[in-house]
Amino acid sequence: MRAKVRLPKTRLGWLFLFLFIIDVMFGTWPFVPFFNQNKIVLGVPLLMLWVYIVVFTTTFLMWLSSKMGVYTAVYFSITARFYE
């Protein structure tokens, strides 16, 4: 099996990939302690609100890139020998 990496080919594709990576990065551990506080905002804990924001912005970015015809996913395509 061979693994192939497919990267964006346009500037807009690279921009969306960068925005997506930044958005996912904001949902990882280094940013969680900033929002892990005992505060209620809009009826939910601050951390839960932050998770909602990260999920919705990630979904919005992927939807927007799809509508603009940009495929931002860096994915690995693994093909078996019998497909060749």
Inside any domain, residue 57: yes
Count structural domains, the chain.
1
Residue with tokens 């799809």: 66
Inside any domain, residue 49: yes
pTM of the model: 0.70
| HSE-up of residue 81 (Cα within 13 Å, Cβ side) | 1
Domain holding 45, by residue range, is 12-71
- Please report the pLDDT score of residue 72 as a whole number: 57
Inside any domain, residue 80: no
Inside any domain, residue 36: yes
Q: What is the pLDDT of residues 33-76, one digit of tens each?
A: 888 888 999 899 998 999 999 999 988 988 888 888 886 555 54
Inside any domain, residue 30: yes
Inside any domain, residue 26: yes
